[in-house]
Amino acid sequence: MKKLLAKAAETISEAVFPSNIYCICCGSLIDGSRVYSLCDECIRKFHWASGRTCEKCGKALPDAYRGKLCYDCMDRAHYFTKGYSCLAYGLHERAVLLDYKYNGKGYLAKKLGDMLYDRISCEGLQVDLIIPVPLGAGRKLQRGYNQAALLVRRLSARWGVPWDGAVLLRKKETPRLRSLNPSEREMALFGAFAVSERGSCKIKGKRLLLVDDIYTTGATADACSKALLYAGANQVYFLSLASGGNRKPKDLECRN
């Protein structure tokens, strides 16, 4: 029934907002051949993470930056094995993601899911199951969908790897993490995620790919990975659509 409803919603949104007519970023007219439904100008303006990236979390690094790890990864170890990201989070990426998350444009999931597939399928990564970062019940009700789950559904269909949105649960709503420092983020996320009883049987000894739309310091990815590993997963990899800037924490200023 859930699948039928999702399919019906997709058909309606495709009829109202045909995905290959307008650029998903600037809204200009395009033809059906444009990759990810982006016009030539927008596809050039997007910051694809195709150059140097952090060896641990996959965040795009500026050419002038000398380190192999981003500042956040230098500062703390992660629970996930390795992260990958499609884009660096800039103005244009932000506009599309805000539209996707807050302006009811869930139908963008198809194009954004294709970006995830193109990014991860060339890595030769073998995973058993894809898990979306769960959304709190309140936010899901407000938004009508979990943005990560829609991306995962498309990624799974393209990649042929199964996904499960009922393995990892969000036990409490968390405040927006943007303005919090690393230890405040950790506190805010303490006990926020848990694996369902059914979920723990599915992930025992398995390699998982955790997916979210945005990655910044890794606090959410770590909180989820920790819960999955604690429940018996063998390894957790992480994939995001866009990753945030490489900001230097104050206590690292004299170390680099």
Interface positions with Zn ion (CB under 5 A): 23, 25-26, 39, 42, 54, 56-57, 59, 70, 73
Q: Could you say which DSSP state residue 87 is in?
A: E
Of 214, 9, 6, which Cα lies nearest the Cα of 98? 214
C-beta closer to Zn ion: residue 39 or 223: 39
Q: Could you say which DSSP state residue 22 is in?
A: B
Q: State how far the alpha carbon of 81 is from the alpha carbons of 27, 56, 181, 215, in Å.
A: 38, 8, 23, 15
CB 149 within 8 Å of CB 166: no
C-beta closer to Zn ion: residue 13 or 243: 243
Shortest distance, CB of residue 94 to Zn ion, whole angstroms?
Answer: 14
C-beta closer to Zn ion: residue 73 or 228: 73
Shortest distance, CB of residue 111 to Zn ion, whole angstroms?
Answer: 12
**Residue 35, helix vs strand vs coil:** helix
Q: Which residue carries 């709190």 as its tokens? A: 136
Shortest distance, CB of residue 43 to Zn ion, whole angstroms?
Answer: 8
C-beta closer to Zn ion: residue 59 or 101: 59
Contacts of 246 (CB under 8 A, 6+ apart): 54, 59, 61, 62, 65, 70, 71, 72
C-beta closer to Zn ion: residue 57 or 209: 57
C-beta closer to Zn ion: residue 39 or 227: 39
Shortest distance, CB of residue 42 to Zn ion, whole angstroms?
Answer: 3
Shortest distance, CB of residue 21 to Zn ion, whole angstroms?
Answer: 12
Shortest distance, CB of residue 203 to Zn ion, whole angstroms?
Answer: 25
Report CA dihedral (245, 173, 86, 158) to the nearest 10 degrees.
180
Chain-centroid distance, C-alpha 50: 17
